[in-house]
Chains A and B, each alone.
Chain A
Amino acid sequence: MPSVEEFLVVGAMLFAMGLVGFLARRNLIIIFLSTEVMFQGVVLTAVAFSRMAGNLEGQLYALFLLVIAAVEASLALGIVVLLYRRKGTLDSEVWSMMKG
């Protein structure tokens, strides 16, 4: 049976690689997809700690996180569609009016 630390390391890698995708990519959809990848890392970490503690709290936390992720994905994709309709491109660099 894999130990808790192994799950934590994999969860941290998923989270950090989602962060890299969020920072590096310019496509709006890929940016939000990287956010979902970060959610997966957090789910794995929560369930690992829940198993270490011996109760179900972490799994319920991950379940509510799933609700939040679904809500965030739907609203974010709605906004992405609106942004695409306004500019005709999915590039995030065209939205740089407030850049210093």
Chain B
Amino acid sequence: MTEWVPYALYVVFAFAGLALYLLLPKRGAVHGVAGGVIALAALTGLVALLAFGLSDSPTLTFYALAVVAVGGTGRVITHTRPVYSALYFVMVVIAVAAMCLMMAAEFLAIALILIYAGAILVTYVFVIMLAQQEGAAPAYDRFSREPLLSVCAGLMTMAVVSGQAVKAVQQRQAVESAGLSGVGSARLAAGPGLFQDVEGPPPSPNPASTGAAEGAYPALPPPTHAEEVGGLLMARYVVALELGALLLLVAMAGAVAISRKRIPAEGPEQKPVEAGASGRRVVPF
């Protein structure tokens, strides 16, 4: 049953690629209606394939989120106005955060919404406001560079990455169910959503064994997800944490340094530079 799944995936991706090519802004007519219909067909095919080919217990929530994420991404890259692209991207971020919630990654989901939708996207919207052109959508928004070749490149990437990922996961699960590999089988057999890390918190002491006469403490509740993430960050990944903080500091200094530079406006035409000339004078800061 699982042999035909990667090839059906390629068919779905071909439809998605055709829809993307029709929807990308380009010279000649933009076939919005035809592209939209083919995009809907591709999304339906994707959901059907995921439900019947790859899943043993289809979940409606996941398919709704997948449709929102993939459809939103399609609109991000095909919309002519940058503000709408940014707003569709907020939708994609929220869908991805909800999918992380489904995988019991609560801290990451909230961090995604706070940082991506709350900080990065707001910065994007501010920059779009600063660099906005008045009137109708300018030419560089209405025409793409090489739409056919970029859609082919994206299609190849989609097909190769997802086909290989699906095959690898299915191979691994086939090997483990045959009992030949014991590396991850113990963890997988423990059930989904069970994050038993090697350096997890120590087990709470059993009051009966330590003796009630010593005033044994009551058993600790199991750590929450955020406590586990925090424990790992402070214990095993503390160097990466400090490096990340250093990176943020350096980026802040760099952003201030970049924004202080004085730029003389040159206009949209390029000045021709003769061979051997030293180029334009750059104002040092």
> Which residues of A come within 8 Å of B, CB atoms?
1-10, 12-21, 23-27, 29-30, 32-34, 36-37, 40, 43-45, 47-48, 50-56, 59-60, 62-64, 66-71, 73-75, 77-82, 84-94, 96-97
Q: List A contacts of B138 (CB < 8 A).
A: 89-91
Chain A residues near B157 (CB-CB < 8 A): 12, 15-16, 19
| A52 partner, pick from B143, B169, B197, beta carbons under 8 A | B169
Q: How far is the CA of A12 from the CA of B115 in the complex (A)?
A: 22
Known: A43-B96, A51-B192, A94-B270. Contact between A18 and B263, CB under 8 A?
Answer: no
- CB-contact partner of A33 in B86, B197, B248, under 8 A: B86
Contact A59 B73 (CB under 8 A): no
Q: Give the number of A-B contacts (CB < 8 Å).
A: 290
**In-complex Cβ contact of B169 among A5, A12, A32 (8 A):** A5
Complex CA gap A26/B26 in Å reads: 11
Beta-carbon contacts of B236-270 to A below 8 Å, as 1s and 0s?
01001000100110011011001101011111101
Among B77, B100, B131, B155, which residue has its beta carbon within 8 angstroms of that of A37? B77
Contact of B228 among A51, A56, A97 (CB under 8 A): A56
Residues of chain A with a CB closer than 8 A to B165's CB: 5, 8-9, 12, 45
B115 touches A60 (CB 8 A): no
A75 CA to B104 CA in the complex, in Å? 32
Closest A residue to B196 by beta carbon equals A54
Contacts of A74 in B (CB 8 A): 123, 251-252, 255
8 cross-chain pairs, A with B, having the tightest CB-CB distances, nearest first: A21-B77, A20-B154, A23-B150, A54-B187, A12-B162, A16-B158, A91-B140, A24-B150
Out of A17, A56, A63, A79, which one reaches B258, CB within 8 Å?
Answer: A79
Q: How far is the CB of B23 from chain A (nearest CB, A)?
A: 11
Q: Establish whether residues B194 and A18, one from each chain, have CB atoms under 8 Å apart when the complex forms.
A: no
Question: Given the complex of chains A and B, what is the CA–CA distance between A48 and B96 in angstroms?
Answer: 12
Decide: B145 and A23 in contact? CB cutoff 8 A: yes
Contacting residues, chain A, for B198 (C-beta < 8 A) = 55
Q: Give the docked Cα–Cα distance between A97 and B169 (Å).
A: 46
B30 within 8 A of A: no
- Bound Cα distance A31, B13 (Å): 22
Chain B residues near A88 (CB-CB < 8 A): 265-268
